[in-house]
Amino acid sequence: MSKHNEYNEYNEERNMENTDCLVLEIYSDSCNKMYIIYDYYEKCYFIKGLNNFQNQFNFRCKYIRDIRNFIELIFCYQKELFLLIHNYKELPYECNTITFEGLNDTSYTNIYSGETLVSKEFQNNGVLYSYIEEQLRVIKNFYNKY
């Protein structure tokens, strides 16, 4: 395939409005939570979250190990963590336009049409972080390319 055809295919995909997307949610309580999304086009993870001080944060990261370290930093004092994998059916292609509020909306009319596929509770230990790394690989490698 020529570079020109690859570029056109890339642009066609980007012009579509929404796609199904797996999103990893990690939380200890309503004041400490984050959502992690893998952006197929940017080739990096987007982390959108809220911490104890009610401060929202938005970051990008390419490496699973760095995300793991960040998660340990944010949740270091929590005894239990919950991991959920959601399928959002109407996420925009541009991760920068996805909001924490939209991901966190649990009402029936969620703007991104999210459904929880998996929900697990863990003790905050090394096993948890190995599982998180596995799930980050899953959300990276499962996507829809229309």
pLDDT for the residue numbered 49: 94
Q: Is 146 part of a structural domain of the chain?
A: no
Q: Which helix (H) or strand (E) is 51 found in, with range?
A: none
- Domain count for the chain: 1
List the domain range (segments joined by +) for residue 11. Answer: 3-141
pLDDT, tens digit, for every residue of 70-94? Answer: 998 888 878 889 999 998 888 887 8
Cβ count within 10 A of residue 115: 11
Q: Is 75 part of a structural domain of the chain?
A: yes
pLDDT for the residue numbered 7: 44
Q: Is 71 part of a structural domain of the chain?
A: yes
Q: Is 45 part of a structural domain of the chain?
A: yes
CB 137 within 8 A of CB 64: yes
pLDDT, tens digit, for every residue of 29-72? Answer: 888 899 999 998 889 999 999 988 778 999 999 999 999 999 98
pTM attached to this predicted model: 0.81
